Structures are given as structure tokens and as C-alpha cells.
Amino acid sequence: MCAVITPELAQRLHGVGLSWEPAPGDRFVVPNRDMDDEVFVVSDMVVDVHDLPGGRVIGFNGTVEWALDSIAAAEVVWLPREDQLRTALGNAFVRLEAVPLGWVVVTQAEAGEQRHADVDAERAYARALLHALAG
């Protein structure tokens, strides 16, 4: 799986006003339920791999029996993807730059260009958006 922003950074984004309408492909974590390290993906259909005596098959399932049947969206932490973070930046986004130790997102603000660096592009976008929303 590709890199994801940290739950802590995602919680900070939520805290400054980034809202979420869950949609297929969105990633999230379920904190405080002994699943903090598991990244879940919103999907219309569950696909599982099964090892059968005749070989490996891919099973398409509408639902999965699981101890956690549902959870309120407010109880999970959305981990926005790079494209979602870039879209949320809107016209403030100028460019993404590769640097020796990671990535820099350059944004335009009233005070001029601002640079937001991190080890991967998603985290750099998240830091830029956090700064823009915190204003």
C-alpha cells in the first residue's frame, strides 16, 4: 500500500476544519480499539483471497462477518490521500518539489510563497493544508 499520513496529522487536519464525506477508496483508522495500526479502505464490495485445494481463488463478497458491524464515522480518523489533500488546497497550491530528504509543497499565501516539507508527498501536502486551514 502507498504511504499514508499519520493519524495524528489527520486528526490535526480535522481539528482545523477539514471535513470528510466518506466515499469508496477513502482510507481510515479506528483509534482506541486495539486496531490503531490497521488502515481500512471504504469499499462498495469486499474482495478476499481464498486458498482452496484446487488453487487460489478471489472471492467477491457483499459483506463480511466481523465483530465490528459498524462504527460512527465520527469515531474513525480519515487519512486523506495525496489527490484529496491537493484538491483541498485549491488555488493555494503552486507546486510539489522533490528534495533530498523528501518532498516540499509550495503554496501561495498573502505573505508570498510558503514551503511545507516532510518525508513523503502526502505528509507535505497535509502540512501545507494544515497551515492554510489554521490560517
User: pTM to 2 decimals?
Assistant: 0.82
Q: What is the pLDDT of residues 9-39, one digit of tens each?
A: 999 999 999 999 999 999 999 998 888 888 9
Angle between helices 121-134 and 82-89 (to 10 degrees): 30
Q: What is the pLDDT of residues 75-96, one digit of tens each?
A: 899 999 999 999 999 999 999 9
CA 113-6-94 angle, to 5 degrees, is: 20
Nearest CA to 27 out of 13, 14, 41, 38 is that of: 41
pLDDT reading at 66 higher than 60: no
| DSSP-assigned letter for residue 124 | H
